[in-house]
């Protein structure tokens, strides 16, 4: 046997195949289906931001920027957090620019976790979390979010308490939450904060949908770092991709106390070193846009959310109304579905639409077996076409 006969991939990465987003987007391309799978908008972000990027490209912002990010962007990130959340971060030392939120999450976990440490997270979890935890040699301790009779996803507080142990190093919290659309309430966050403090754990928060808690959510978005005792133990992560409809730019950032940010940067510098020089000044412009931009963006997404919910309901799905994000989840049981993965793999053929099965984001696949996710960050005519196609689904079956 030669070394070529064995899988060269390290064992800790073998459970991770191609991401479901890549698989489903490829399926959409292949079949010509409407892609409501991967969460990317089909319109461009604010023109001021695009103009600033073009200008930066044409005026020499094309070489390595400083390691932590350009000063204008770090200042804009700090000002934005002060404006919207009343959080104070020093742009020099408490803010670092990353290659999207994905790199920030990975660098945070790699920086903070020793092999064998435990990371408490909520499932369904964003797929990169599991891979980053595995790369660090840490263990994930998922707490399951389940839809309740009120249609809201919630967790059992005892499950959360039981997920903490002497090995807990950090809690990874995503709110507003992908894929469920859950916005964690102040009470839920208080429990997370108490348990973090009780166990001396850090928190890493993924808040890429911070501007997408809808007006009818049980509560608005509350950053965990704003709770008593949490700023000093939280790395708060966000990104331009979702708020400014530029998911391909991969400009993200992390903020927190200097020691945590410095730890993250020590890892980040050896992952990508720096990123996206000409896009950084453009994101600084976007973050400084007036409040109206953020309000209108959310209102517009809320209209599209409602359009898709109505359409999915008319097509026979049981829909869980999301309180935030780009996504709506639906139960396939009423349409005869028993397994989301199989359902989504054949959906393009059966109805010309792509969705994502959420069961791949659980350690306990049973909990998500009948749930699938649709993205509504698409033009209204695209959503209308998807709904028209889905409404024919029962006839095709």
Q: Pick from 100, 124, 348, 368 the residue near ligand PMP by CB under 6 A.
A: 100
What the block records as the tokens of 241 is: 């991709």
Whether the ω angle into residue 384 lies within 30 degrees of 0, i.e. cis, is no
Q: Pick from 35, 144, 247, 351 the residue near ligand PMP by CB under 6 A.
A: 247
Strand duo 168-174 + 202-206: pairing: parallel
Q: How far apart are the first and last CA of the chain?
A: 48
Of 241 and 337, the one with the shorter C-beta distance to ligand PMP is 241
Cβ-contact 65, 274 below 8 angstroms: yes
Of 102 and 255, the one with the shorter C-beta distance to ligand PMP is 102
What the block records as the tokens of 261 is: 């940010």
Of 145 and 315, the one with the shorter C-beta distance to ligand PMP is 145
Task: Write down the least CB distance from residue 196 to ligand GLN, Å.
Answer: 25
97 contributes a contact to ligand PMP by CB under 6 A: no
The residue range among 213-221, 238-246, 279-287, 362-370 that interacts with ligand PMP, by the rule CB under 6 A, is 238-246
Of 89 and 129, the one with the shorter C-beta distance to ligand GLN is 129
Judged by beta carbon distances under 5 to 8 A according to partner kind, the member of ligand GLN, ligand PMP, none in contact with residue 262 is none
Task: Write down the least CB distance from residue 201 to ligand GLN, Å.
Answer: 25
Q: Pick from 206, 287, 356, 368 the residue near ligand PMP by CB under 6 A.
A: 206
What the block records as the tokens of 284 is: 């600084």
**How many residues sit in the footprint of ligand PMP (CB under 6 A)?**
14
One-character DSSP codes across 194-228? HHHHHTT-EEEEE-TTTT-B-TTSSS----GGGST
Q: Pick from 168, 180, 239, 243 the residue near ligand PMP by CB under 6 A.
A: 239
Tell me the residue number closest to ligand PMP, measured at CB: 100
Of 16 and 21, the one with the shorter C-beta distance to ligand GLN is 21
Residue 49, CB half-sphere, CA atoms under 13 Å: how many?
22
Cβ-contact 104, 254 below 8 angstroms: yes
Q: What angle do CA 309, 23, 381 make, to 5 degrees?
A: 35
Judged by beta carbon distances under 5 to 8 A according to partner kind, the member of ligand GLN, ligand PMP, none in contact with residue 307 is none
Q: Which residues contact 165 (CB under 8 A, 6 or more apart)?
A: 118, 141, 199
Q: Binding to ligand PMP (CB under 6 A): which residues in 151-190?
A: 174, 178
Q: Which residues contact 268 (CB under 8 A, 6 or more apart)?
A: 67, 96, 98, 103, 104, 107
Residue 237 to residue 209: CA distance in whole angstroms = 10
Please count the helices (runs of H) and the strands (runs of E) in the chain: 14, 15
Judged by beta carbon distances under 5 to 8 A according to partner kind, the member of ligand GLN, ligand PMP, none in contact with residue 175 is none
Of 102 and 245, the one with the shorter C-beta distance to ligand PMP is 102
Residue 47, Cβ neighbours under 10 Å: how many?
A: 8
242 contributes a contact to ligand PMP by CB under 6 A: yes
Sole residue written with tokens 């509350």: 222
Q: Pick from 102, 205, 234, 275 the residue near ligand PMP by CB under 6 A.
A: 102
Q: Pick from 182, 250, 304, 389 the residue near ligand PMP by CB under 6 A.
A: 250
220-243 as b/e, with b when 16 or more CB fall inside 10 Å? Answer: ebbbbbbbeebbebbbbbbbbbbb
Judged by beta carbon distances under 5 to 8 A according to partner kind, the member of ligand PMP, ligand GLN, none in contact with residue 340 is none
DSSP 185: -
Task: Write down the least CB distance from residue 140 to ligand GLN, Å.
Answer: 18
> For ligand PMP, what does the binding mask look like between residues 252 and 281, x meaning CB under 6 A?
x-----------------------------
Contact residues for ligand PMP (CB under 6 A)?
A: 100-102, 126, 174, 178, 206, 208, 239, 241-242, 247, 250, 252
């Amino acid at each position: 046997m030669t070394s070529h006969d064995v899988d060269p991939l390290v064992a800790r990465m073998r459970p991770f195949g191609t991401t479901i987003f890549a698989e489903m987007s490829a399926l959409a391309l292949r079949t010509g289906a409407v892609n409501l799978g991967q969460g990317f908008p089909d319109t461009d972000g604010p023109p001021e931001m695009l103009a600033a990027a073009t200008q930066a490209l044409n005026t020499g912002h094309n070489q390595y920027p400083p390691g932590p990010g350009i000063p204008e962007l770090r200042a804009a990130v700090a000002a934005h957090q002060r404006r919207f959340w009343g959080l104070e971060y020093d742009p020099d030392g408490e803010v670092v620019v990353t290659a999207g939120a994905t790199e920030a999450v990975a660098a945070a976990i790699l920086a903070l976790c020793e092999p064998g440490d435990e990371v408490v997270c909520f499932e369904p979890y964003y797929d990169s979390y599991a891979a980053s935890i595995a790369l660090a040699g840490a263990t994930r301790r998922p707490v399951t979010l389940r839809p309740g009779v009120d249609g809201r996803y919630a967790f059992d507080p005892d499950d959360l308490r039981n997920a903490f142990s002497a090995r807990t190093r950090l809690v990874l919290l995503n709110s507003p939450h992908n894929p469920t659309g859950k916005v964690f309430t102040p009470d839920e966050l208080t429990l997370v904060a108490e348990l973090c403090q009780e166990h001396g754990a850090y928190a890493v928060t993924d808040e890429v949908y911070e501007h997408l808690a809808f007006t009818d959510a049980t509560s608005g978005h509350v950053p965990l770092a704003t709770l008593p005792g949490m700023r000093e133990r939280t790395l708060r992560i966000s990104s331009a991709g979702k708020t400014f409809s530029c998911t391909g730019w991969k400009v993200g950032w992390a903020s927190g106390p200097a020691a945590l940010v410095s730890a993250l940067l020590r890892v980040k510098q050896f992952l990508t070193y720096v990123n996206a020089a000409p896009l950084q000044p453009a994101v600084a412009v976007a973050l400084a846009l007036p409040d109206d931009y953020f309000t209108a963006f959310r209102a517009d997404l809320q209209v599209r959310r409602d359009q898709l919910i109505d359409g999915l309901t008319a097509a026979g799905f049981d829909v869980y109304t999301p309180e935030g994000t780009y996504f709506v989840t639906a139960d396939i049981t009423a349409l005869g579905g028993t397994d989301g993965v199989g359902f989504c793999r054949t959906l393009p053929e059966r109805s010309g639409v792509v969705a994502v099965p959420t069961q791949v984001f659980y350690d306990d696949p049973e909990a998500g077996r009948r749930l699938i996710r649709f993205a509504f960050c698409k033009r209204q005519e695209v959503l209308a076409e998807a709904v028209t196609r889905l409404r024919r689904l029962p006839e095709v079956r």
